[in-house]
Amino acid sequence: MIVGQEKPYKNKNAINNGVRISGRGFCIKVFYIKPIKYKGSIKKGEKLGTLLPLQKVYPGIQSHIHIENCDLSDPTVYL
């Protein structure tokens, strides 16, 4: 379930966007995307959003997403 918008930065830059997703015993934040929606259900394999151009803020960097557990533990087991 998408439960709301998350922003990795306090300022208003071009890549300051993402979502919080929670489900059966987990909660994650996904940054550097323009989500299709900020609230509601989502199914496995469904498009979550569009990757944002990190180069607008960090020239030379490759665009990517950032996945973070809400409790800041290692998210690797869920990937």
> What pTM, to 2 d.p., does this model score?
0.89
Of 26, 18, 24, 12, the C-alpha closest to 66 is 18
Chain segment 28-42, per-residue pLDDT in tens: 999 999 999 999 999
Please report, as a single letter, which amino acid is at residue 69. Answer: N
Cα separation, 55 vs 20, whole angstroms? 23
pLDDT, mean of residues 38-67: 95
Joined together, the tokens standing for residue 55 give 């180069």
Residue 55, SS3 per DSSP:
helix
Q: What are phi and psi of 69, to 5 degrees?
A: -65, 145
Mean pLDDT of 7-15: 91
User: What residue ranges define each of the domains in the chain, with the CATH number in brackets?
Assistant: 2-73 (2.70.70.10)
pLDDT at 15 over 90: yes
Q: What is the average pLDDT score of the chain?
A: 93
